[in-house]
A and B are shown apart, each in its own frame.
Chain A
Amino acid sequence: MTHDTLLIGSAAGFSGDRTDAAGPVVDTLIRLGGPAVLIYETLAERTLALAQLARRHDPEAGYEPLLDELVAPVLERCLAHGIRIVSNFGAANPPAAARRIARLARQLGLRAPRIAVVTGDDLSGPEIRADLMARLGAAGDGLEIASANAYIGADGIAEALRAGAEIVVTGRVADPSLTVGPALAHFGWALDDWDRLARATMAGHLLECGAQVCGGYYADPGYKDVPDLARVGYPIARLDADGHCTVMKADGTGGCLDEHTVKEQLLYEVHDPAAYLTPDVVADICDAELRETGPGEVRLTGVRGHARPATLKANVFYHHGWLAEGEISYAGRGAEARARLAAQVLRERLAGCGPIRADLIGVASVFADDAGRWLDAVPPGDARDVRLRVAMNHADRRVAERLPREVTALYTCGPAGGGGVRTAIRERLGTVSCQVPRELARSSVSFIEPEAA
């Protein structure tokens, strides 16, 4: 075994994550020294569909809206210290995001970075539509398609880094591929070195949700106490040449990282632990082991890999009608009875519009089911602070709009003392998945010309 290692720091775990996370991560990467990469994972399934729609309205839009806030604070230090940046913040428009970063560098008075763009994931084009619909089969019947993207793997990122990219901007690559790509480029593994790819994949899995491995989304006072949660840190993984990793936390940050925080993240969104599927490999964590190797340092070993899936997963989004919601609060004596009466009034007023869900926030809400079995089983009580929330789906916006109007009308027509009405109506995007051949979504790497930005 060589002592060659690669550090990978994570500065975002989803679109909407904190934008001040990168600073401490970059400072820690500089202190630790050696080859290092900073990754931002900012692309949830729905984020990408919304980005596709944004791009259709504006050809220069469709990438992460907070791109400047994410990158500007650390761009100078990353360029000065050779820390590469790899991110899927290109969303539906990686070239536009790359041009934006080039302009940002100029505005900050920095030299022009070498920025690569990885494309190939977008299957929204009209030339692919018939093929895509055939693959969806009956699941695609009658759908009004909004966008389609394949989850592509790490190969494009690795190619870009090997070609000298300092910043790699992608769209829909699988989240762990943001880590696997840099590892492939750095260690020179073969694309069928399944064990090493699987280990790097699980390192990426630990990093891909940002603070979630460092005590974020973990605290439960009295059971799981997390120090200084308001300043929770983001993680760094040190990969060795065999892909094994040690995870730690950025210097001077809050939170905690131990065997238990890592176990929760290791199993997050895993189904069969023998087959964690990505475009790069099938990872197997059945014999995975975690060991605390120092304060705030946990080492992951025992991960195995199997040959990658033959096909790629594609997510297809379609216009799926409207979600209407309304809320109103009742407090004091008889609050629960008044909230229940308000729900009954709304059901009668909206009869014929389709199923309506009612929640009594403070009594029964998110544990309950849409059909109301849970709420029906809760005997009426005397809760004194209850927020009624109702929701319905409808394909026709005009019908959906009746719900917010009826909730608002409770001000004068409903039970006594209701206040704080809030209503919302939103377009829904549905998603269906299918498998597509790898040839349909090949990674393609290009470098942007600084003067074109």
Chain B
Amino acid sequence: MNDRDDDTLLVPLVRLAHGRTGDKGDRSNISVVAWHPALYPLLVEQVTEAAVAAHFAHRRPTQVRRYPLARLHAMNFVLDGVLDGGVNDALNLDSHGKALSFHLLDLTVRVPRALAVHLRGPDELSPTSRSTP
């Protein structure tokens, strides 16, 4: 797959949206907030429950649910069972999973060139891949 063709760009989600992680027990919630209303339909179309579950496969989510909030141009993801027991049991330095929003923001999204004007951050030809083994 080319990073760039005539009509579309492949960019990391961080260029379309921002987000924050919260936690309760072994459950993580990650918000995804579009930088511009015109980008929101791309999030709905491409940042699906299945895509997010696959992106977090190494954390073995037992369930991933997505709650769209159209008036806010945002979505809330709830990932169950991804924190190795959370603050009770996890050996992770980040037992709350605070960093996980930045894993989600590495997800690759295909963006029509016409919408590129709404993207945030420096132009990158390819999505970041360093963090994804």
Residues of chain A touching chain B, judged by Cβ–Cβ distance below 8 Å, are 45-46, 217-218, 220, 222-224, 260, 263-274, 285-290, 302, 320, 323, 355, 357, 359, 364-371, 373-374, 377-379, 389, 391-393, 428, 430-431, 433
Contact = CB atoms under 8 A, between A and B. Distances in A.
A373 B58 contact: yes
* Residue of B29, B60, B92 with most partner-chain A CB within 10 A: B92
A268 B20 contact: yes
Contact of A267 (B29, B87, B89): B29
Interface residues of B, number: 41
A369 B59 contact: yes
Given A369-B60, A377-B133, A267 B88 contact: no
Contacts of A392: 91
Interface string B67-100: 1010110101010000010011111111000011
B91 A357 contact: yes
Nearest to B80: A271
Contact of A366 (B19, B35, B93, B121): B93
A269 B24 contact: yes
Interface of B: 14-15, 18-20, 22-25, 27, 29, 31, 33, 35, 58-60, 67, 69, 71-72, 74, 76, 78, 84, 87-94, 99-100, 103, 120-122, 131, 133
Given A290-B72, A367-B131, A223 B18 contact: yes
Contacts of A270: 22, 29, 31, 76
Contact of A286 (B58, B69, B93): B69
A391 B58 CA distance: 19
A271 B91 contact: no
A287 B71 contact: yes
B71 A268 contact: no
B6 to A, nearest CB: 27
B94 A223 contact: no
B71 to A, nearest CB: 5
